[in-house]
Amino acid sequence: MVTQEQNDALTKVGPGTLMGDLFRRYWIPALHAWELPEPDCPPVRVKLLGERLVAFRDTAGRIGLIDEFCAHRGVSLWFGRNEECGLRCPYHGWKYDVTGQCVDLPSEGDNGPMRSRMKLKAYPCIEAGDLVWTYMGPPELKPEPPALEWVKVPAERRFVSKRYQECNYLQALEGGIDSSHVTFLHGGALKRDPLFVGSKGNEYNAGDTMPQFDIVDFEGGLLIGARRKAEADSYYWRITPYIVPWYTIIPPRAGHPLGAHAWVPIDDEHTWSWSINYHPSRALTEAEVTAMKDGAGIHVKYVPGTFIPAANKSNDYLMDRAAQKAGIHFSGVEGIGMQDASLQESMGPVQDRSREHLCPTDLGVVRMRRTLLKAAEDNRLGHRLPALDPAEQHVRSCSIVLPREQHFKEHARHGLFAPLDSEPLTV
């Protein structure tokens, strides 16, 4: 349980808040690169950490992320015309470049003094891992570009999707590090989903509903180990890295690709849930990519033309009570991604953690909250932050069966901190 004050500190993300200031110190996944497919294409609305912005790719291919609203009379620049290295407001023709600088103010003429003073808020952007990333913090503290393994692998080894989630980022992130719910919520899906079937680990999940958790610190965050009974003299470990501030990597099953998430706050009550499948040493197969595009695994199907899941709050997530009763889906909701999202959203826009009753399987959640609060306080004090150094982002998940006297801290390092292009450690 946390106090209401602590819950507010953890969940509020706007400018000047404890978490908002922390998150602005990191590169933030903002949108798919394909959402800005070519120079002078239409702009895209972007909302991050409570700020309403607009993104555009200019004539030279540079990406701008600027305040959505024109400095003149507040018109949304989403309606603007992207032309000749700038975004022009359709109301009175004021034009802004990728730095937010007003470069044309027709009513003033070429030599007026006002144009040079008009500059919108703007954030730098880079492209990496098929995404556009932005940095919203102090310019002098901008870190090196992101170096998560799924960002570094070749494009043919990676598939990335995002979905709109109607709740605070924290309850989504907490679901991403909670291995204990898999046996119940996803038990049916593990038997059928093409990106999860065939793993011996599925049997261990079904056979032990009381996993034991052990948490190990590493430079970039936490290694959250969930231990289940395997054969008589061994344990089945699934180790989920939590990388500050909002990244998780799902332990693999059999030879399937690894899964990962980034839980990025839109505002206090909405989240971009980025879902990534990647393989460190091979290209994804055509069958795997087809399944991902069709909403298998951690991905979802969409309302056409949006990033809103087809199964969503407005239609009760297409709940199938008959399938629930028959044990096909423990929750009655189809798909691993929406099984998670539906229950996370059911907690309300922002979960009231002062009313919860935690148990030993929530140890990873407790440690993650403490890690975030400590990092946020360290940020306020000007101390060093975890996972800003690219080397501290170099970790992957793994699953492994070990003799009972061995601990993953020593005996799974070769899988957790494996070199690029190496095979995953999986069961």
Residue 240: how many other CB atoms lie within 10 Å: 21
Confidence class of residue 209 from pLDDT cuts 50, 70 and 90? confident
DSSP H helices, 58-113, are none
Instruction: Identify the CATH homologous superfamily for domain 149-416.
Output: Naphthalene 1,2-dioxygenase Alpha Subunit; Chain A, domain 1 (3.90.380.10)
Mean pLDDT of 294-302: 96
pLDDT score at 326: 87
For a pLDDT cut of 90, what percent of the chain falls above it? 86
Nearest to 396 by CA among 72, 147, 86: 147
What confidence tens digit (pLDDT) does each residue in 223-235 have?
999 999 999 899 9
What confidence tens digit (pLDDT) does each residue in 375-418 have?
999 999 999 999 999 999 999 999 999 999 999 999 999 999 99
What confidence tens digit (pLDDT) does each residue in 245-276 have?
999 999 999 999 999 999 999 999 999 999 99
Whether the predicted pLDDT of 37 surpasses 90: yes
User: Under a CB-based contact definition with an 8 Å cutoff, are residues 217 and 409 in contact?
Assistant: no
pTM: 0.95
What confidence tens digit (pLDDT) does each residue in 17-35 have?
999 999 999 999 999 999 9
Whether the predicted pLDDT of 328 surpasses 90: no
Whether the predicted pLDDT of 187 surpasses 80: no
Q: Which residue has the higher pLDDT, 166 or 201?
A: 166
Rounded to the nearest 10°, the torsion over CA 188, 189, 191, 194 is: 170
Q: Which residue has the higher pLDDT, 291 or 208?
A: 291
pLDDT score at 32: 98
Give the containing element (helix H, strand E) for 273: strand 270-278
String of DSSP letters for 303-336: -TTSSSBSS-GGGGGG--HHHHHHTSSSSS--SH
Who's near 113: CB < 8 A, 6+ residues apart?
none
Question: What are the domain boundaries of the chain?
Answer: 27-141, 149-416
3 state SS of 96 = strand
String of DSSP letters for 224-264: EEEEEE-STTEEEEEEEEEETTTEEEEPP-TTSPEEEEEEE
Q: Is the fold of 27-141 the same as that of 149-416? A: no
User: Under a CB-based contact definition with an 8 Å cutoff, are residues 188 and 360 in contact?
Assistant: no
Whether the predicted pLDDT of 327 surpasses 90: no
Which CATH number fits the domain 27-141, given the four candidates 3.30.300.90, 3.20.20.210, 2.102.10.10, 2.60.120.10? 2.102.10.10
How far is 7 from 10, CA to CA, in rounded Å? 5
pLDDT score at 212: 93
What confidence tens digit (pLDDT) does each residue in 107-162 have?
887 777 888 899 999 999 999 999 999 999 999 999 999 999 999 999 999 999 99
How far is 144 from 1, CA to CA, in rounded Å? 36
Mean pLDDT of 63-90: 98
Mean pLDDT of 289-298: 96
pLDDT score at 1: 75
Six token digits for residue 51: 């700020």
Whether the predicted pLDDT of 179 surpasses 80: no
Nearest to 369 by CA among 238, 182, 173: 173
C-alpha torsion sign, points 6, 268, 222, 212: positive
Confidence class of residue 189 from pLDDT cuts 50, 70 and 90? confident
pLDDT score at 74: 97
Arithmetic mean of pLDDT over the chain: 95
Who's near 415: CB < 8 A, 6+ residues apart?
239, 396, 398, 400, 424, 425
Nearest to 176 by CA among 226, 210, 137, 111: 226
How far is 247 from 258, CA to CA, in rounded Å? 14
Q: In this structure, what are the phi and psi dihedrals at residue 309, rounded to the nearest 5 degrees?
A: -60, 145
3 state SS of 73 = coil
Query: What angle, 0 to 180 degrees and rounded to 10, lies between the N-to-C axes of helices 169-176 and 363-381?
Result: 130
How far is 279 from 49, CA to CA, in rounded Å? 30
Q: In this structure, what are the phi and psi dihedrals at residue 343, rounded to the nearest 5 degrees?
A: -75, -35
Whether the predicted pLDDT of 318 surpasses 80: yes
Q: Which residue has the higher pLDDT, 332 or 264?
A: 264
β-strands 258-267, 270-278: how paired?
antiparallel
Whether the predicted pLDDT of 40 surpasses 80: yes
pLDDT score at 50: 98
Whether the predicted pLDDT of 47 surpasses 80: yes
Six token digits for residue 32: 């798919």
